Structures are given as structure tokens and as C-alpha cells.
Amino acid sequence: MKNVKNVNYWQIDHQIKQIVAIKGVIVLPILEAWEKFEWVKLYFKQKPQEGYFVWVKKQINFPLSTCITIASPNTIQELMNFLVIEKRINVKAIVNCNTQKNDLCGKHIARGKLILKDGASLEYNHFHRWGQNDLVNPDYEFFLEKNSNLIYNYQNLFPPKDLNLTTSIYSKENSSCQANFIINGLNSKINLNETIFLDENNSRGILKLRLVGRENAEISAQSKIIANAEGVGHLDCQGLLVDRRSNISLTPKLICKCNEAQLTHEASIGRISEDQLNYLRTRGLTEEEALNLITTGFLSCN
């Protein structure tokens, strides 16, 4: 990472390179937080070894930033990341997980727990960039207390060889969330499991996926909204197949356990038409340039 001056937590392989202290925000290695705060132990089944702890206690006016990097061959990271935002605080976070080279054959296992207290708000921008032989397994849980609001943006334009991504959002009374997933599958095996739980009255959730399969990509997405109380939820899953060697499987599920909940979904898988390609070729683009332009437009579509 070229500019780390304002990064609050920076780790390369297993070594912490930087922790930046901020007024009103506690940033610690997760092991140190586990040993220092008794209440932190309630969220862990076993003692964590690496990862970060961020506790936002007062309002800040700039984004929080973390960076986790693999730089050495065959590195195996097993991270536990923990973020807590206190009541009525608004936070924007930029989270980068990546590899420095394309052929390191690393393994990145990340377990995240993020807690939004009453009336808190979080925009969580999660960017992944991996090498062609990496194995990546993130499992993130968001706990939204009443009146809180979450926007979660996950983007992976350079996926690993194998990606297993699990996301769970638990929503209490009058909370809202929108989770957006943008993934450009390139010769990768990708499994997605995303679930929004509408657990208390007047909770709201939107789950949106934009998935591209190209160059022997295998993509499977199982997306669920489960309404355990009165609430509103919507699933929007769209896939784009660029070549015949790739495949995409979308499985949207709506599970309603309350007759006053309203759940909807839309799902589609399409391909790039010859008419689109021919039109762009007449404008002077090569076939590869045309494919990249159409793919970029699809992934950036809101």
C-alpha cells in the first residue's frame, strides 16, 4: 500500500506495521483487546490470535481505514476483526484486503464481527484484490441494534482462485441495511452466502448482487432474506456471462415467518449480445475492449 499515513491499522502477513491513535477511537490488536476488556470475550468462542479491534466511542469526521496484506509465499492468515460503534455515531470505513503479487499462493481467513449500537450508522467499503492462486474465506457478521443503519459495499474485481464469502446481517427494531456485492469472476471458483435477518419490527433490508463470469469462472450465490418479524426486504441478483466456459448459479430465497412482513426479489442471468459487440466494434473498439467496457458498465450499475 503506497500511502499508509492515515491507515488506522496496517498488517502485512502476520506483522502489524502501523496503528494510528485517534481521539475518541480505540485501535488495538484483537489479542490485546481480548485480554484488556472482559466484555470482548463474550463475542469469541476461543482466544483470537491476529486481527484488529476498533472501538468508536466519539463522533469522527474522517473515514476509518484498515489494510491487511499478504506479501510472502504460502502465508496463512487467520484473522478476527472486531468493530464497535457506539450510540448515535456515524462512521465511514475503508477496508482493503489484498496481496502484493499475483503468485504467492496465500490463504486469507477472516472472521469479522461488527456491532452498531442504538442509532449508529456505518458505511463499510470492503475492497478485495487477490492473486490467481490465493484462497480466501471471509465470514462477516453485522449486528444492528435498534434505529441503526448499515451500508455495506463489497467489491472484488480481482478474485482469488477460490473465494468463499459468507455475510450475515442481524437487524433489530427500526434498523435498516443495504448490502451490495460486486464481483468480477476471472478463472475463479466463487461461493457466496448472504443472509439478512429481519428480527424485529420495522426492520428493512436490501441485498443486491452484480456478478460477472468470465474465463472459466464458476459462481454460486445463495442469497436469503429471513423475516422473523414485521419488516420489508428485497433481493436483487443479476449475473452476466461473458463466455461459454463460465457458469453462474443464483438461488434467491425469501423466508417469511411473520404474516405482516413484505419480501420481494428479482433475479436474472444474461449474456453479452452480438449486437452490443458489433456496435462497439463499429466505434473502433477491439472485441476485448468492447467486452471490458460492457462488463465495467454492468458492474457499476446501481
Q: How far apart are CA 295 and CA 211, in angstroms?
A: 10
Boundaries of every domain in the chain: 9-271, 272-302
Q: How many CB atoms lie within 10 A of CB 287?
A: 11
Q: What grid cell was written down for 68?
A: 491487511
**243-291 pLDDT, tens per residue?**
888 999 999 999 999 999 999 999 888 877 676 766 667 777 777 777 7
pLDDT (0 to 100) of residue 302: 56
pLDDT cut 90: percent of the chain above it: 80
- pLDDT at residue 104 tops 90: yes
- Is 187 a residue whose pLDDT tops 70? yes
Sort 227 into a burial class: Cβ within 10 Å, 0-12 / 13-18 / 19+: buried
* Residue 2: all three cell numbers together: 503506497
Residue 282's pLDDT is: 72
Q: Are the C-beta atoms of 142 and 177 separated by less than 8 Å?
A: yes
- Is residue 277 within 8 A of residue 288, CB to CB? The reply is no
229 pLDDT higher than 80: yes
CA nearest to 252, candidates 272, 271, 268: 268
Percentages (nearest 5) of helix, strand, coil residues in the chain: 10, 55, 30
Q: Is the pLDDT of residue 300 over 80?
A: no
Rounded to 10 deg, the angle between the 287-299 and 274-282 helix axes is 120
pLDDT for 71 beyond 90 = yes
Residues 6+ apart with CB under 8 A from 193: 165, 166, 167, 222
Beta bridge mates, 76: 107
Query: How would you classify the pairing of strands 25-29 and 90-99?
Result: unpaired
The pLDDT of residue 244 is 84
Residue 4 confidence class, pLDDT cut points 50, 70, 90: low
Residues contacting residue 232 through CB under 8 Å, at least 6 positions apart: 198, 204, 205, 261, 262, 263
Please give the angle made by the CA atoms of 69, 112 and 96, to the nearest 5 degrees: 30
pLDDT on residue 301:
58
